Amino acid sequence: MKFSLKRMLIGRPLKSTELGDQKLSKTKALAILSSDALSSVAYGPEQILIVLMALGAAAFWYSIPIAAFVIVLLVALILSYRQVIFAYPHGGGAYVVSRENLGVNAGLVSGASLLVDYILTVAVSVSAGTDAITSAFPALHAYSVEVSVLFILILTIINLRGITESASVLAYPVYLFVASLLVLIIVGVYRIMTGQISPDLHTAIGTPVAGISLFILLKAFASGCSALTGVEAISNAIPNFKEPAPHNASKTLIAMGILLAILFSGIVFLAYYLGIGPSPTETVVSQIAKESFGHSILYFVIQGMTALILVLAANTGYSAFPLLAVNLSKDKYIPRMFQVRGDRLGYSNGIIFLGAFAILLIIVTQGSTEKLIPLYAVGVFIPFTLAQTGMMVKWWREKPEGWIGKFAVNTVGAFISFVVAMIFFITKFDHVWPVLIFLPALIFIFHRIQNHYNLVGEQLRVDKLNNVLPTIDGNVVLVPVGGISKVVEHSLSYAKLLNPEHLIAIYIAFDKEEMHAFEEKWKNRFPDVKLLTLYSPYRSLISPLTKIIDKVEHKAKQENRQVSVVIPQFIPKKGWHNILHNQSSLLIRTALLYKRNVVLITVPYHLTK
């Protein structure tokens, strides 16, 4: 049943030779790796207006130059990450760039920031999409957490089915969202050019505004930069592209940048020209669509696609998180299980881990992630800054042909990214202070994990100069028994095959009369096997057993002998039958597992009825 359910949910297992079929074309990659960045146009322009609203509607014209600076940063990031793609074609993005050029700890800061950011991507995107849905259907508002968790479970299952299949499912809504916003922008611009919209709805560019300051402008700029989250995802996911992977990834990155620039600038311009400001009950995109189409079918299509893209933006995290985890795992900073491919050739452990932590975050925050958005944004701009700085160091060190232009692009990107990160820290410190705790904590954990792997490697590594195997002069076999049965007979027969120098059965009794009776039965049934009986007045099984094994182990070590413990265990025909029996063998194995010089051997006896 379990197997059938798994096959139904994620499909048949794929052979390793089918890995090439799981690579992404440019059109599919654009959909699933750009959904986070493209979806941000639904809230990025609004974030600018929210800051400017403190000065009144007259200040809305500042959104135009602010948007222009956001586009400048976008261009710098796109050009920079295009260089990253060709310089580091095996993926890893900001983590690999920072590690290679700025040092291990800088790389780990980038890696930790992005790992947390991708979890936040899923939680924030799904919560935002759920909010859009519950706004349209207020009856669902009380179940927003449950709806969010359901969306994450669906996305997790879709991604476990394989990257190609998930791209095939999710590509259509992404492209429909892009198409609907392009139609909205084109119709809006057409109405402006044909004079259907009064120019009196907005203040002219350059109008003096009382109270304006550099601090407010920088804060508005930083808020607008939330539209750039997800730009780095393509450079992390290069291995998912069809060959030639770097060229396909580069073209996809440029296409994403062009679409993001058009959609972002279009929404900002229409909001300014129509005199639209932020509203607690209606989004800016909704107001523009209502102004352009009224309550027609096109309005509801745009609203539906916007809600859907906000949910599907989480898929960028599902695409990029597992690959980043693979790079960190290969460098021994996180567990090796993240390198294991699942039945459908995706890195399923990373996918499941991401989904589980996103669900936990949704439950802890009750689906209200407004306070997490600044943390989400600053988590992006830290690796942005480090990646750009790392590329600067690379060009300065290597000085390839045309390096000055590349260096200049990265310098501009690094400076602006650093300014944005600092603005977030200064203006929203009460929301982003956890960064100062979890980043050092994660880096400490990364180093501890790597230290563990290094110590394990040293102890397991075979000495090439010494090919002589260690010698053992004899074997002492101990068999804990709980009675006389076929299980015990089976285990003793196996123990004799080991040709032990000493074969000893151990019986723990809770009653002295019972102990003496058992000794008589044993002599009659197994006269050739020595029996050691121990009385346990406190009815403990493990304590007297481990004490006698310790004594035998100590003596055997002095005589260069190996102690082996053969544990009899019967296996019921049905798994649930185990709850009807004492798990003595499991307790014994658990207690003896960390005995340094004891070999544990479990001898199963399978029941047929």
Q: 3-state DSSP helix/strand/coil percent for the chain, to nearest 5?
A: 70, 5, 20
Give the 3-state secondary structure of residue 606: strand
CA dist 306 and 286 (Å) reads 9
CA dist 327 and 94 (Å) reads 11
What is the DSSP pairing of strand 561-571 with strand 530-535?
unpaired
Angle between helices 214-224 and 44-52 (to 10 degrees): 160
- In the prediction, which pLDDT does 22 show? 61
**Preceding amide of 246 cis, omega within 30:** no
- Under-70 pLDDT residues of the chain: 1-22, 92, 132, 135-136, 163-168, 281, 343-345, 367-378, 463-471, 581-582
- In the prediction, which pLDDT does 54 show? 82
CA dist 505 and 497 (Å) reads 15
Tokens 């920088």, located at residue: 218
Listed in sequence order, the residues at least 6 apart from 278 whose beta carbon sits closer than 8 Å to its beta carbon are 46, 49, 50, 53, 284
Q: Which two tokens stand for residue 304?
A: 């539906």
Q: How far is CA 65 from CA 218, 221, 414, 507, in A?
A: 12, 9, 20, 85
Backbone angles phi, psi at 64, to 5 degrees: -70, -55
Listed in sequence order, the residues at least 6 apart from 144 whose beta carbon sits closer than 8 Å to its beta carbon are 127, 130, 131, 134, 367
CA angle, residues 192, 198, 202, in degrees to nearest 5: 95
- In the prediction, which pLDDT does 451 show? 92
CA-derived radius of gyration, the chain: 32
- Which of 25, 494, 482, 559 has the alpha carbon at shortest distance from 247? 25
pTM (two decimals): 0.76
Are 74 and 409 in contact, with CB atoms under 8 Å apart?
no
CA dist 38 and 59 (Å) reads 26
Angle between helices 104-136 and 348-365 (to 10 degrees): 60
Q: Which two tokens stand for residue 541?
A: 């099984």
pLDDT tens-place string over residues 390-432:
989 999 998 888 888 889 888 988 888 888 888 878 877 777 7
CA dist 503 and 495 (Å) reads 8
Which of 295-302's residues contact partners 24+ apart within 8 Å by CB, and which partners? 298/180, 298/183, 301/180, 302/180, 302/181, 302/184
Q: Which two tokens stand for residue 85?
A: 């793609």
- In the prediction, which pLDDT does 377 show? 65
